[in-house]
Each structure stands twice: as structure tokens, then as C-alpha cells.
A and B are shown apart, each in its own frame.
Chain A
Amino acid sequence: MSLFNACLVVLCLYIAALVGIGIWSVRKARTADDFVIGGRKLGPWVTALSFIAVYFSSVLIIGGGGFGYKFGMSTVWIGAINVLVGCTLCWIVLGKRIRVITERMGVNTISGYFVGRYGSPEAGIFSALVIFLFLIIYNVSVVKGMAHSFEVLMGLPYWGGVLISGLVIIFYVVLGGYQAVVWTSLMQAWVMIFSLLLLTFSTLNAVGGLGEGVRRLAEAGPGYVNTPGTWGWAGLVSYCLVVSFGVWGMPQLLIRFYSIKDAKTFRLGTVIVTAGAAIAVLPYLNGALSRVLLPSLENPDLAIPSLSRMVLSPWGSAILLAGVVAAGMSTFAGVLIIISSSLVKDVYINGLKKELTGPQEVMANRVITAAIGLIGLVLALRPPALILVLTAFSWAVIASTNLWPLLFGLYWKGASRAGAFASMLAGFVTAIAWTWRGNPFGVHGFLAGSVAGLAVLVAVSLVKRSAAASAHLEKI
């Protein structure tokens, strides 16, 4: 069977399963809480695996493989820090506290947390607007990644890849809301895990085992097996921090903590998320070893697609494509539900003080989800130059805005309303200005933004304390 036909069969089965889950989950999304956070009744497996699926987008598989090809084995450290900081410590430090406090405050969005914790509508609205604007931009980059995968592996036109992947996602998110997002993410995580393991075993077989593959890679240049190797400490460490610690401020991942059944569920969930996230190392490992088999690739981003064609059967390549698409779809869907809930709950209901009944709120979420999803697709079809520039900003800006007010809000009673809002502004402005200036001194915009946000939060909170907040804090 040809690669195209194998991809077609696998993708049709895969998309049929996604649509089926979307239709099945309609009945589960009756209230706004159901639609936005799954009614806070999800178990450890579904929560942990959907966290992994949303965290690791197609950018990890394709881009991570490209990094591995370009910089060598030292890039496996990115995967390792993703596991330790982005998953294990994130769940331990943030998970349980977010779950308990958000239930006590009765909030179901990230921006709602800022309103509930700090009594600060301005912080809530600002956070919601940042999430709305920059997550749309982030989604454009995710859709682009998926469409390019269709292009390379199936020979489909770019617009075809955008429409196929985008419309399926919008369909199931509009129908089932968060329930559809997490259950499809659960399936997508398994597809990602299986496809990456398949690629890794085939690659190791082709290079003669891990030890032999590394030995041959060292012959290409010792920098490809040493740490920090050809990348250097500054580049490697700052990238590890950005893609691991940055997660602590990303709403599409933090919302998983709202939706988990109870605080006890975090125990098993933390173990599952840690073990499952170990797949993060595989794209880098495969990318590095692909240099042994494909020594003269002009574009490193083609390392994983080219490797799969070389070491996998057409069926194996089709499964890998499903894995890449699964990674992109789960991230797009997770982001979509966050944007719509921010707009409906935080901006329209809480910000503009409009009242909606339960069914109206669910319907508003569905309409906004469809509209935002379609905007993302249209932008991805012909991305304006500004959008392409801003995709480099999105992760840094969102994480820098949310990170410290969220973390300090959980652990420091002294974090005040003024301090939180000032920290958001400082993180936001610094991350944008820093990235706009081309990351001076090789420091990423997220690092600059988060240092500014941290300093401002502590300084302003110490100067401008909120006396009235004590009783409120005791309550939550």
C-alpha cells in the first residue's frame, strides 16, 4: 500500500473516532461548568494524559526533532527538564492548591482566579484579554504546524491540511466542550505515545542500537553527543526554562487542575503525568540519531518526516502522521476552550456585568468557540506578517503575565491586588519589548518578562498592602 493510502485510512479512522467522541460528549456538557471544566469530576488518567497531549504540540515532534538534528544529543535535556519542571514540579507545586482554592472561590477560569484571589476585576479582564489575543496567535502557529505535516507526509496542499484539522477540532469542541477536549486528548496522548515509541524502536534498529548510534553520531562531530555541545550553555539552559517553567503560567494547562475530581486524585495523576511525559525526550533523541542516517539534510525540521519515511513502513509513517496531528489537535482544542471561556465568563459576564442563564452561557460558549476557531483557521490560511512575528511572542507574553500572580497568590498572603496587577503589566510589557528588540544578550523574552514580573510583584505588594484582604484570604 502507498504512503498516501495508508495515511488516508489511518486518518479517516482517527478523525471518525474524534467526531464520535464529540457527539458522545454533547450530553455531558449541560451546564457552563461542564462545558468549561468538565464539572470538576475527571479522574487521574484522563487529566494527566490530556495535560501531556495539550503540553506537547506538533511543534515538539517536528521542531524538537529539528533541534535534535541541529544540536545533537544535548537536546535530550530539554525533554528531561520538561518532565521534571514542566510536569512533576508543576503538578506538585501548583496542582492541588489550585484545585482546592478555585473550588472554594467558585471560579472556573484562569482569569476568574485573579478576580477571586485578589478581588481585582482589572487583573481578571487584563488576563482574559491577553489570553484571548495571544492564544489565538499561538493557535495559528499550531495549525500551521499540522498543515505542514500533511504537506510533507501526504502531499496535501497547505490549505487542505488547515481545513481538515481545524474543522474537525471546531466540530468536537463546539459539541462537547471541555469533556470532548479531555477525552479526545486522552486518545490523542496514546496515539502520540505509541507513534513516538514506534519511531524510536525503528530508528534504534536502523542505527544498530543506542550505543552504536551514539558512537556513529560522535564520528560526525563530538559536539553532537556532548552537553551542551554545539548549542552552548546559554542557549540550552534558557530554552529549557522557557519551555518548562513557562508552562506554569499557561492557562490551557493550568485549567486541568480545576477539572480534576478531588485533591486526592493528584497523587496518581502526578505519577502518570511524569511517566507519560517521558516521551518528550523521544523527538530530540530521534532527531539527533537521524543525523547518522541522513547526514546532509538542508532543513532540520524535515528530520522527523524524512526519518519516518526511511525507517518506517507506510503504515508506520501513517501512524506517525496521526501522532503529529494528534499533538497539534489536542493543543488547538485545549487552547480554544480556554479562549471562549475567558471571553464569555471573564469579559462578558464578569467584566461587562451581563447576566446569562445556564443554557445561554453554554450556547454563548459554543458560538464563541466556533467563531474563535474559524478566526484561527482564516488567519492560518494566509497568516498576516504581523501574526507571524507575534507567534514568537505568544508563549512568552502569556506566561510572563500570569506566572507570578498565580504562584504567589497560592503561597504568599502578602501578595496584594496592586502587586498582582502591576506584575501582570510589567511581565506583559517587558516580554513584548524584549522579544521585539530581538532578545538582547541572547535572553528569551519569557525570562526577561518573568524577572520583571517577579520584582514588581514583590516590591509593590510590600509597599501597597491590602488590609481588607485578610478576612477574604482566611476564607479561601
Chain B
Amino acid sequence: MGPFNMPWLTFSAFIVIDLSVVIAILWAVCDIRKNREGKQKP
């Protein structure tokens, strides 16, 4: 049994939402770095 008396499989839906926010932030950071590297190239 997972948190809040939910089965883990049901609770995982909330983890997927948190994971989505992490993916969005990581993508944004990668995009910034890619852009910087692109600008530094001669």
C-alpha cells in the first residue's frame, strides 16, 4: 500500500505529474545550454 492509503499503482499517477515538471525544467536547462554552445561556435 502506498501513501494516503492508495495502491502504489494509483499513487504513481501523482508521481508522473511531478516527473513531468522535472522533465520540463531539464528540457529548458538543456535548451539554454544548447543555445549558449551554438553561440560560442565560430
Contacts and interface: CB of A to CB of B under 8 A. Distances in A.
Interface of A: 73-74, 76-77, 79-81, 83-84, 87-89, 91-92, 96, 210-212, 214-215, 218, 225-227, 264, 266-268, 270-271, 273-275, 278, 281
Given A214-B6, A270-B28, 16 more contacts: A76-B10, A76-B14, A80-B16, A80-B20, A83-B16, A88-B24, A210-B4, A225-B7, A227-B13, A266-B31, A270-B24, A270-B27, A271-B25, A273-B24, A281-B14, A281-B17
Contact of B31 (A76, A77, A267): A267
A84 B13 CA distance: 10
Nearest to A273: B24
Contacts of A270: 24, 27-28
B19 A84 contact: yes
B9 A274 contact: no
B24 A271 contact: yes
B19 A268 contact: no
Contact of B28 (A84, A268, A281): A268
Contact of A211 (B4, B13, B20): B4
A226 B7 contact: yes
Given A76-B10, A80-B16, A211-B4, A271 B21 contact: yes
Most central of B13, B16, B19, B23 by chain A CB within 10 Å? B13
8 contacts: A80-B16, A80-B20, A210-B4, A211-B5, A267-B32, A270-B24, A271-B25, A281-B13
A214 B17 CA distance: 19
* Interface class of chain B by DSSP: helix
A224 to B, nearest CB: 10
B20 A274 contact: yes
Overall SS of chain A's interface: helix
A301 B41 CA distance: 58
Interface of B: 3-7, 9-10, 12-14, 16-17, 19-21, 23-25, 27-28, 31-32, 35
A227 B7 contact: yes
A270 B7 CA distance: 30
A268 to B, nearest CB: 7
Sorted nearest first, the 3 A-B pairs with minimum C-beta distance are A267-B28, A80-B13, A274-B24
Contacts, number: 83
A49 to B, nearest CB: 15
Contacts of B13: 76-77, 79-80, 227, 281
Contact of A225 (B5, B32, B35): B5
Nearest to A229: B10
Nearest to B6: A214
B10 A84 contact: no
Contacts of B12: 227
Contacts of B6: 73, 214, 225
A215 B5 contact: yes
Contact of A87 (B5, B20, B25, B27): B20
A96 B4 CA distance: 39
Contacts of B19: 84
Contacts of B3: 211
A226 B27 CA distance: 33
Nearest to A209: B4
A271 B10 contact: no
Nearest to B31: A267
Contacts of B20: 80, 83-84, 87-88, 274
B14 to A, nearest CB: 7
B24 to A, nearest CB: 4
Contact of A226 (B9, B25, B32): B9
A231 to B, nearest CB: 12
Contacts of B25: 271
A145 B35 CA distance: 44
Given A84-B19, A215-B5, A264 B35 contact: yes
The interface centre, meaning the residue of B10, B14, B25, B32 with most chain A CB atoms within 10 A of its CB, is: B10
Contacts of A274: 20-21, 23-24
B21 A226 contact: no
Contacts of B10: 73-74, 76-77, 225-227
Contacts of B28: 267-268, 270-271
B9 to A, nearest CB: 4
